[in-house]
Homo-oligomer: A and B are copies of this chain.
Amino acid sequence: MNDMIPPGNVPSDLVAEWQTLHRVFIRPEDEKSRQTLIKYMEQILFGLHEFLNSHVGVTEAIPLATLARSYTDTTIHREPEKKLADVIKDIINQIAPRAVNVASPYFIGHMTSAIPFFMVHLKAITAALNQNLIKLETSKVLSVLEKQVLAKIHRMIYNREQAFYDGHVQNADTCLGLFTNGGTTANITALWVARNRCLPATGNFAGVEQDGMASAMKAHDLERLVVLVSERGHYSLKKAGGILGIGNKNVIPVRVTPHHRIDMTELTRQVEAFAQNTTIRVAAIVGIAGATETGTIDPLPDMARLCQTHGIHFHVDAAWGGPVMLSDKYAGLLEGIKQADSVTIDCHKQFYMPMSAGMVYFKDPTALDRIIYHAGYVNRKGSVDLGIKTLEGSREASSLILDSALKIMGSRGYALMIEHGIDTARLFAEKIRERDRFQLVTEPVLNILTYRAIPGELKPQMDQAVTPARRRAIDACLDRINIDLQRIQREAGKSFVSRTCLKLHPDDAHTAVVLRSVIMNPYTDGRILDQILDEQEIILQSPEISKHLVSLS
């Protein structure tokens, strides 16, 4: 081959030269090169770890604007700029310290956290094998293994009889679920199936998938197709409405009870009103099992009953809460989930897998037939090609990671982590209640809670505020204080909580800024939570916060 490609004029230890290029495609044979590669991996495993240890907080304090100025060169260099060793060194020295230390036990603001170290090994394995799950010809045993893992999780959710799983686990014609790149794609897939179920072929109309939404609505004499979900629903559901041509306005937020669960009276009222109107059809009702903002869980059994009565597709977004089913102690919180027609669960959330992996499951193993796509060169009819019924095309073997993790941890291992998160969140709620300067906004049903800071000076003013104008002024002041408090703490780089906006009571006119905490790191404990609250109390007394109080006096 060498005579075909003339070697370039570049230093021989860099890659843009045919011989070197050739070598990067095989793992080297000689001991010295092997040792070099191992050394690089050691740097990745432990060099990054040094950073995690030396930066106990969240990030190096460097403003975004300053950072952005270092990343403005937009040319791809013709010759190699760096060797692998230098790229790794730069990532450890330049990138990691300016990334977010999501692995810190002080990082309790988002659903991204520390992962067990073996996950890095498992991710490296999937990359080294580089199988493509779109079809059997590029994955073979991995497709078979994926079907098995899908059956295991389906069983965790639906717990059907043994014969059911024996009949479907390796059945090429049916599909218990699928791996996606995350919960958003899982939710879109579930609503895609629900949409198609709801607008089937009739007369000359070939079905919504073939003929589109406009023809579908005509063929079925409909004016509107709607999806109902509580106000706490993840924004991916609205996005799904937009993508699927349903219209995101038709993903209707239903009011919640004071406990942030969907208001069944209101939901029932709406469903019954729609049932009276033949021009409106409900494509799906979505229950939430672990709301992104509050961790709350909808009354799934009640919702399931309502859906059954009206023949409506019942989807449960358990992207966050799904793995709670592995805990004997808390599985009861998800009662009713087995009646769902479809269920979303994320792998990169409480299955503690690295980004990005999610899943969606269907009670009916033929439900995914509504989104079948074939092609001449892949995914031929009758094949076991898993890409026949997926939104995505080429896909990595996330299923191998989940399967391995389940074997290493056992369901009990996961349960311990889930239980730690919930128990620690409850402990945190206690600590917040015990402090005068904080107000617990939502109790932790799972491992998520919200609260807000209230400076001591404001408490008597709140009690004395009688006019609506005065109350609004205090609310606005509190919002500004909590926005700044969260920002100052984040920028200080020692700990991180996030913030969102919630109505303290469903009937409130005001949507308040609240602090939000997600506890999933097994190293987050009472001592750390005290430190985080202590730091917030100190910030509360700073001039940057006090200045907001002036406007009130």
Is A258 an interface position by the 8 A CB rule?
no
Tell me which residues from 259 to 295 in chain A have a Cβ below 8 Å from any Cβ of chain B.
292-293
Is A354 an interface position by the 8 A CB rule?
yes
Residues of B within 8 A of A41 (CB): 38, 41-42, 45, 121, 124
Q: Across the interface, do B246 and A243 meet the contact criterion of CB distance under 8 Å? A: no
Q: Across the interface, do A408 and B169 meet the contact criterion of CB distance under 8 Å? A: no
Q: Across the interface, do B242 and A243 meet the contact criterion of CB distance under 8 Å? A: no
Residues of B within 8 A of A206 (CB): 249
Mark A88-130 against chain B: 1 for CB-CB distance below 8 A, else 0: 1001000110111011000001101011111111111111111
Mark A363-402 against chain B: 1 for CB-CB distance below 8 A, else 0: 0000000010111111100001000000111111100100
Is A495 an interface position by the 8 A CB rule?
no
Residues of B within 8 A of A156 (CB): 76
Q: Which of A88, A184, A427 has the most CB of B within 10 A?
A: A184
User: Complex: how many Å from CA A83 to CA B76?
Assistant: 44
Q: Which of A14, A21, A80, A124 has the most CB of B within 10 A?
A: A124
Residues of B within 8 A of A115 (CB): 25, 127, 130
Given contacts A410-B14, A413-B16, contact A500 B208 (CB under 8 A): no
Is A84 an interface position by the 8 A CB rule?
yes
Residues of B within 8 A of A522 (CB): 1, 21-22, 25
Q: Across the interface, do A406 and B76 meet the contact criterion of CB distance under 8 Å? A: yes
Given contacts A74-B165, A208-B247, A242-B371, contact A516 B5 (CB under 8 A): no
Say which residue of B77, B100, B166, B184 sits within 8 Å of A410 (CB atoms): B77
Q: Across the interface, do A98 and B16 meet the contact criterion of CB distance under 8 Å? A: no
Q: Across the interface, do A248 and B95 meet the contact criterion of CB distance under 8 Å? A: no
User: Complex: how many Å from CA A409 to CA B82?
Assistant: 8
Residues of B within 8 A of A169 (CB): 71-72, 74
Nearest-neighbour CB distance to chain B for A550, whole angstroms, equals 26
Is A552 an interface position by the 8 A CB rule?
no
Q: Across the interface, do B68 and A355 meet the contact criterion of CB distance under 8 Å? A: no
Residues of B within 8 A of A76 (CB): 152-153, 155-156, 326, 406, 410-411
User: Complex: how many Å from CA A74 to CA B95?
Assistant: 42
User: Complex: how many Å from CA A356 to CA B181?
Assistant: 9
Q: Across the interface, do B130 and A127 meet the contact criterion of CB distance under 8 Å? A: no
Q: Across the interface, do B247 and A394 meet the contact criterion of CB distance under 8 Å? A: no
Residues of B within 8 A of A121 (CB): 37, 40-41, 44, 84, 88
User: Complex: how many Å from CA A303 to CA B8?
Assistant: 36
Residues of B within 8 A of A413 (CB): 15-16, 21, 80
User: Complex: how many Å from CA A401 to CA B45?
Assistant: 17
Q: Across the interface, do A24 and B77 meet the contact criterion of CB distance under 8 Å? A: no
Say which residue of B24, B245, B377, B384 sits within 8 Å of A117 (CB atoms): B24
Tell me which residues from 173 to 229 in chain A have a Cβ below 8 Å from any Cβ of chain B.
181-185, 188, 192, 206, 208-218, 222-225
Residues of B within 8 A of A138 (CB): 100, 102, 110, 112
Say which residue of B103, B148, B238, B245 sits within 8 Å of A71 (CB atoms): B148
Q: Across the interface, do A215 and B79 meet the contact criterion of CB distance under 8 Å? A: no
Is A59 an interface position by the 8 A CB rule?
yes
The 7 closest A-B pairs by CB, nearest first: A245-B245, A212-B247, A355-B396, A213-B213, A184-B393, A213-B245, A98-B141
Chosen A-B contacts, 5 in total, with CB atoms closer than 8 Å, are A16-B415, A41-B121, A76-B411, A181-B395, A292-B377
18 other A-B residue contacts (CB within 8 Å) besides A37-B121, A120-B124, A131-B355: A5-B419, A25-B521, A37-B45, A44-B128, A67-B141, A71-B141, A71-B147, A99-B131, A103-B130, A132-B355, A209-B242, A209-B247, A210-B248, A212-B241, A212-B249, A238-B373, A355-B397, A377-B499
